[in-house]
Amino acid sequence: MPFLRLIFEPPCVNIHVMNTHFGPTPRHFFALLLNFVLMAAACLATAAEDTLPHGPLTRLEFEMDKAVAAGSFSDKHGELGDAAAGSDRYDVLRYDLDLKIFPDTRLIEGSVHMVFSSGEADLTDFVFDLRHTLTVDRIDHLSGPLLFTHDTDSVSVVLPVPLAKGVLDSIVVHYSGPPTPPVVNRGLMFKTHRRLPDGPLDDTSPIIANMSQPGYSQSWWPCKDKPGDKFLVSMKLTVPDTLTGVSNGTLLGVTVPEPGWKTFSWRENYPIAAYLVSVAISDYVLLEENCLTAGLGSVVPLKNWVFLADVNDAIIEFAPLCEMMDFCESKFGAYPFLGEKYGHAEFIWPGAMEHQTVTSIGHASLDGLGNHDWLIVHELAHQWFGDSLTTDQWAEIWLNEGFATYSEALWFEQTVDRNAYFTYMANHRNELEWKREGPVYDPVPVFPGRVIYDKGAWILHMLRGRMGDTEFFGLVKEWATGGGRRDSTVTTQDLIDLATDWTGETQDAFFRPYLDETILPQISFDYEIGLGIAGDNTRLTATLRQNQWPLFDNVFPLVITTTTGTTTRRIPLNTSSTSIELDFLTPITSVTLDPEHWVLWNEFTPAPEPQGLTRIYPNPSRGGYVIFGYKLTVPAHVQVRVMDSMGHQVFHHDLGTVNPVSGGNEYTWNVKTVGGARVPSGIYWATMEISGQRHVSKFSVVR
């Protein structure tokens, strides 16, 4: 989902305290007050920093705050992917949504049939997510209406009888109201076409579409709003008969329930996560073709619903879509949703969203310039990475965005050349932005931020360089298609374990520092060329050192050119330093470390010694002399002053302009006043003024 950095929502937009039905205990009230104060302070700190999209909270701190309140603090933060506490007590198997959308009044009414199984013994009640702006009219069960409580954004339901673990049950939630977007450009959005007075189209018809990632599905339909619980879904969209309703999977049919309305019935036959359930409604024009992929021979219907004004531009932008499908199948295996469509539904948004089988694509990307192939292939790759393989928790989101972003680089390598691949990776290296946003693993909030996209892609690029093309692309295809992962959920450790299997050695030490740290390896590289067994300049002695903590585990390509050719040696570095000695048959002419930039690292630059007073010796002085050592980086005006313990100046000497001396400058004082009198025993302060900057240090005189 690119362009998220353009839609920054501060993490402290709203702070709510829940109106609990039973009233908080004093302990809970204190916890609420403490949380409110801490969150308010965090908001002020964030406002002061002004540039930190991930804010001051870590995921652990956030979860601890929620745990302290223990059910008395249920305000949810969508950018954190926050969902109802306790919803892991059951598993959702399917949802059947039957929705009627009223564009003019921006209201929704409908029902959601939820089939679930108990995840524990004696499940007596459970909770799901639904925003407080919507009204639960009733909840039906085979036994009759159920008791429920709708507090803020959570609905708690009491079951008629306890359920044993694994037992299936179902409810139907009837609800209605305004699905008010929780923040700008999130949730179910009601917009209209822009009036175009100078063009052929003068259309202000509705555009209704959702953007639910990470935790905004609950703002328009009742669900368990977590990525790790996947389900089957059907969707009936009843809309005004001038509009088309688009959703996931296969269109089963269109009916007319009453004059002026149409119902579009969709069914997704593959498991899906809540944030990937899609609604897109407008007066669309459908562009379609059948794609027969060249490699695997898959037949995928390509269907693109676009605005009338953008038809010609969309034809240009979607022209390479079948080629992209073939490309993705060659790298990642068969299209994960065979038997169903792939395509796009246009909406008003600054980026795109990888809704399963029907990506929502922003209108600005269909401009007819033909330069949005990176975006289209990114969202297509998400069908494998994010939609078929879905992250178990939002902490793992880099698995979605890293693979999709890396697919962009692979596309340019395929369609342009290898240099375009390396250029792409270089252009997506922004260390200052990454450091500001925090670690790749478990960002808080989940979005915005480019670190999960770009540094995530770099981790995969490095893994490719570490493993080599044959093994790497074998791993990627197995990751996407093997191990029972398709249509399921995955974790970072799953990928690390698979890489370990492919390489025959543990890969935790490679992955974890890049995922968990904001620093990069700081590498010193030294080498000597000398007399070898084949004569002068045929022996290479090279040393690599890491100058940071924690240590990283990398394999560095070392490219050596001799008078007869070029060779590459791979140098593992997983300790503080390593040295190698290599002999060649012909003289060595050049040595370069990682010239193609396969590894994320920086050349170590020792911090310069600060300018100023560095030491005083002997200390204490026996009265003969005292030497003031000081450091200059450039020629500077220097003055020396000595003050006694009462603050009186006992000595002053203006040295004028002094040039830096290798190893440091020194000034020797004879421990006498300017008038020549010996200073008595005591404590003194030396002040070195260097170009107006004062540097002070204490010493003593003992006579």
Per residue in 446-486, pLDDT (tens digit) is: 887 899 999 999 999 999 999 999 999 999 999 999 999 99
- The pLDDT assigned to 38 comes to 33
Q: Higher confidence at residue 579 or residue 49?
A: 579
For residue 369, the tally of other CB atoms under 10 A from its CB is: 10
Q: Higher confidence at residue 203 or residue 551?
A: 551
Reference 592, options 570, 559, 568; nearest CA is 559
Among 47-61, 270-284, 325-339, the least confident range: 47-61
Give the sign of the dihedral formed by CA 464, CA 469, CA 472, CA 478. positive
Give Cα 630 to chain centroid, integer Å. 46
Helix (H) or strand (E) holding 420: helix 418-427
- The pLDDT assigned to 129 comes to 96
- The pLDDT assigned to 61 comes to 60
- The pLDDT assigned to 44 comes to 32
- The pLDDT assigned to 16 comes to 29
Please name the residue that has the structure tokens 């954190």.
80
- The pLDDT assigned to 58 comes to 54
Residue 410 pLDDT greater than 70, yes or no? yes
The rounded mean pLDDT for the chain is 88
The CATH class given to the 284-392 domain equals alpha beta
Whether residue 300 contacts residue 294, with contact meaning beta carbons closer than 8 Å, is answered with no
Residue 6 pLDDT greater than 90, yes or no? no
Residue 3 pLDDT greater than 50, yes or no? no
CATH 2.60.40.1840 domain span(s) along the chain: 522-603
**DSSP code per residue over 602-667:** EE--PPPPPSEEEEEESSSB-SS-EEEEEE-SS-EEEEEEEEETTS-EEEEEEEEEE---TT-EEE
pLDDT (average), residues 614-628: 91
CATH 3.30.2010.30 domain span(s) along the chain: 284-392
User: What percent of the chain clears pLDDT 90, i.e. is strictly above it?
Assistant: 78
- The pLDDT assigned to 80 comes to 83
- The pLDDT assigned to 439 comes to 92
pLDDT tens-digit readout, 145-156: 999 999 889 999
- The pLDDT assigned to 24 comes to 31
Provide the CATH number for the domain formed by 612-701 in this structure: 2.60.40.4070
HSE-CB of 140 using CA atoms within 13 angstroms: 7
pLDDT (average), residues 13-33: 31
pLDDT (average), residues 326-346: 97
Alpha carbon distances (Å) from 680 to 387, 621, 623, 671, 686:
81, 11, 9, 9, 15
Among 53-67, 305-319, 487-501, the least confident range: 53-67
CATH 1.10.390.10 domain span(s) along the chain: 393-516
CATH topology of domain 393-516: Neutral Protease; domain 2 (1.10.390)
Q: Please, which residues have CB within 8 angstroms of residue 635's CB and are 6 or more apart in sequence? A: 657, 658, 659, 660
Among 195-209, 305-319, 445-459, 499-513, the least confident range: 195-209
- The pLDDT assigned to 368 comes to 92
pLDDT (average), residues 300-304: 98
pLDDT tens-digit readout, 516-555: 999 999 999 999 999 999 999 999 999 999 999 999 999 9
Model confidence at 77, pLDDT cuts 50, 70, 90, reads confident
Residue 17 pLDDT greater than 90, yes or no? no
Helix (H) or strand (E) holding 190: strand 187-192
Report the distance separating Cα 143 and Cα 148, nearest Å.
15
- The pLDDT assigned to 60 comes to 60
Whether residue 86 contacts residue 127, with contact meaning beta carbons closer than 8 Å, is answered with yes
Q: What pairs with residue 554 in β-bridges?
A: 573
What are the phi and psi torsion angles at 439 (to 5°)?
-70, 160
pLDDT (average), residues 280-295: 96
pTM above 0.85, yes or no: no
CATH 2.60.40.4070 domain span(s) along the chain: 612-701
Q: Please, which residues have CB within 8 angstroms of residue 595's CB and are 6 or more apart in sequence? A: 557, 559
Please name the residue that has the structure tokens 């296969």.
250
Position 689, amino acid = E
Reference 247, options 97, 106, 121, 145; nearest CA is 97
Residue 49 pLDDT greater than 50, yes or no? no
CATH topology of domain 522-603: Immunoglobulin-like (2.60.40)
Alpha carbon distances (Å) from 440 to 12, 46, 83, 118:
22, 20, 22, 34
Reference 235, options 89, 358, 78, 380; nearest CA is 358
Model confidence at 62, pLDDT cuts 50, 70, 90, reads low
Residue 135 pLDDT greater than 70, yes or no? yes
